[in-house]
Structure 1
Amino acid sequence: MLDKLKDITTFIFDVDGVLTDGAVFVAESGEQSRAFNIKDGYALQLAVKLGYNVCAISGSRSKVALHRLNSLGITDVYLGSSMKTEKLKTYMEERGISPSQVMYMGDDIPDVEAMKMVALPVCPADAAEEIKAISAYVSPISGGKGCAREMIEKVLKVQQKWMGAEAYSW
């Protein structure tokens, strides 16, 4: 896996189960919310600052997720995507991104086909067994607990971009 890290320019993440732990909190009003990990947030915004492509593709239509990701500088957020492969294909074509440059972190069945399209499919520790079976790397960290941070940090360290001046301003 380490040899693939040097070519990564693009991070694609599912939201629920990857950037969150998959729990959905429902208020009496019916409004839903999710919890995001601050360490993931730090790494995500740093990757954006460093010029990496950072994208979220989710079947969810959560406005909370959209607001959180936009606040980190992530503008490529595709919610309500039942066909993740089509969204991923279009995203890569529009930006001239090769599959060899992409890390995709997913956790469940809707991510399978999209993960097969990229060079570095990875998943959190608590991903579905089918996802673990196709992943080049299974993080020891569960979804929503810092697994996105772990992968971004690994890539930046291999590419010698971790702990640069950008790392200190958030």
Structure 2
Amino acid sequence: MAIEISDIPLSLIVYDFDGVMTDNTVIVGEDGRESVICNRSDGLAVSIIKEWGLLQIIISTEENDVVACRAKKLKIPVIHGIAKKNEAVFAYCKDKNIKLEETLYIGNDLNDLEAMLAVGYPVCPNDAYREIKEISKLILPVNGGHGVIRELLYYLKKGKHD
């Protein structure tokens, strides 16, 4: 299912981390340190979206500080290491006076489901799990970690943001 994102009012974009900004793979070293791979084109897309004045945030259940490090590099807020993403979305939107119906959430797995159901524009990568695809208004034609945000930018630019 697809929607013309350029025709909808947006105030906030929420990104899941693993499975959206990464391909959901983790590299574990002998010392137990974890690493992930992110797509640089997503970083460019985040910068362009920021120039438009849209707020962006990463919300993740992942406790590893790699999530915060990526958010710091992108210069966007992050809430990570939480159990219930929907509660974090509610609280953030309330704090920033943002309507849930003007919020776009990109997620890929069951821990995103409740938050995605609460917002106006649930979106997912092509390799999201079935339950997430079923509730998404837009399924992006790329897999997680392969330029999901860059691909979203294409849909955002279709209209008034050109």
- What is the Cα-based RMSD across aligned positions, in Å? 1.4
The amino acid that maps onto 2:25 is A
1:129 Cα shift? 0.3
Return closer, same or farther for 1:95/1:156 CA change in 2, 3 Å cut-off. farther
1:50 Cα shift? 2.9
SS at match of 1:87: helix
1:72 Cα shift? 1.2
1:4 Cα shift? 6.6
C-alpha contact 2:42 2:149 (8 A) present in aligned 1: yes
Q: 1:14 aligns with which of 13, 16, 23?
A: 16
C-alpha contact 2:14 2:58 (8 A) present in aligned 1: yes
- Map of 1:131 onto structure 2: 132
Residue 151 of structure 2 is aligned to residue 150 of structure 1: yes
Gaps in structure 1 of 5+ consecutive residues: 163-170
- Count of matched residue pairs: 160
1:5 Cα shift? 4.5
- Map of 2:34 onto structure 1: 32
SS at match of 1:18: coil
- Identity level (%): 34
- Map of 2:81 onto structure 1: 80
C-alpha contact 1:6 1:159 (8 A) present in aligned 2: no
CA distance in 2, matches of 1:4, 1:50: 13
Structure 2 matches for 1:43-54, cutoff 5 A? 43-54=45-56
TM score, norm. by length of structure 1:
0.88
1:8 Cα shift? 1.3
TM score, norm. by length of structure 2:
0.93
- Stretch moving more, 16-25 or 95-104: 95-104
CA distance in 1, matches of 2:146, 2:87: 28
More helix by share: 1
